[in-house]
């Protein structure tokens, strides 16, 4: 009465999923799973696109604040400098949390895609091709390297901006 599917995709160790009592034809079931695959792929693309846009805007704002500091920071006191540092850190941390959420969404939707492919038996040997699999099957969804690189690049820019505000005197201060 139960079909078995697990998160590690090992056929022997599984979480029980009850069989549906609905009378749906196999073609309709495949259509449903394929539409789920499409939805999951669209979600991954949307999260990745928003992560890129968010990071680009964040880097732009950080560099704008840094530019303001370098050009007009001579009028700012020590408390003002501390405010700039804390504001940059908090803003950068919020962007990093968003990038982390994008990475988790990528992985979660990827696992769901892999489960759909397993349900469709697209990873079984001899299912579609003689002696071959339709998909290469590792049992794991690979993390997004581009989102990880984006996250590291953002941390580098944020760190350089905070160090610049901390240790570099503004132009107005050095001219006087």
Q: Show me where the domains of the chain are located.
A: 2-175
Q: Could you tell me the sign of the dihedral formed by the alpha carbons of 162, 163, 166, 169, in that order? A: negative
* Rounded alpha-carbon distances, angstroms, from residue 42 to 32, 101, 121, 135: 15, 16, 22, 20
The proportion of the chain whose per-residue pLDDT surpasses 90, expressed as a percent, equals 33
Instruction: Give the contacts of 129 (CB within 8 A, at least 6 positions apart).
Output: none
Could you identify the residue written with the tokens 């002696």? 131
Could you tell me how far CA 176 lies from the centroid of its own chain? 47
d(CA 113, CA 19): 20
pLDDT in tens, 64-86: 999 988 888 777 788 888 998 99
Question: By mean pLDDT, which of 7-11, 47-51, 68-72 is the weakest?
Answer: 7-11
Q: Averaged over 39-65, what is the pLDDT?
A: 92
Which pLDDT value is given to residue 150?
A: 93
Nearest Cα to 48, choosing from 106, 109, 93, 110?
106
| Phi-psi domain of 142 (left: phi exceeds 0; alpha: psi -120 through 50; beta: other) | beta
Which pLDDT value is given to residue 139?
A: 54
d(CA 73, CA 173): 8
Which pLDDT value is given to residue 89?
A: 96
Question: By mean pLDDT, which of 39-53, 64-78, 82-96 is the weakest?
Answer: 64-78
Q: Other C-beta atoms within 10 Å of 148: how many?
A: 12
């Amino acid at each position: 009465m139960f079909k078995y599917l697990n998160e590690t995709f090992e056929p022997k160790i599984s979480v029980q999923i009850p069989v549906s009592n609905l009378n749906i034809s196999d073609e309709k079931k495949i259509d449903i799973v394929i539409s789920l695959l499409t939805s999951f792929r669209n979600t991954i693309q949307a999260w990745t696109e928003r992560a890129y846009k968010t990071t680009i805007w964040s880097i732009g704002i950080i560099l704008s604040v840094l530019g303001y500091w370098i050009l007009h920071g001579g009028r700012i006191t020590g408390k003002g400098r501390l405010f700039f540092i804390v504001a940059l850190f908090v803003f950068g941390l919020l962007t990093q949390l968003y990038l982390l959420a994008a990475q988790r969404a990528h992985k979660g939707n990827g696992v769901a895609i892999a489960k759909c492919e397993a349900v469709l038996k697209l990873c079984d040997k001899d299912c579609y091709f003689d002696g071959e699999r339709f998909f290469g099957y590792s049992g794991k969804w690979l993390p997004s390297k581009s989102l990880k690189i984006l996250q590291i690049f953002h941390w580098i820019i944020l760190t350089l901006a905070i160090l610049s505000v901390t240790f570099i005197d503004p132009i107005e201060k050095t001219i006087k």
